[in-house]
Amino acid sequence: MSNVPLARIELIRIARRLRVSGQVEAAGTIGEVVSRYLHRRQPVRRMPVHSQSVTRRVRERIVELAESTDMHSAEIAAKVGVNPGRVSEVLQGDR
**Four-residue CA torsion sign, 24, 29, 30, 32:** positive
For 56-85, write each residue's pLDDT tens digit.
999 999 999 999 999 999 999 999 999 888
Global pTM? Answer: 0.48
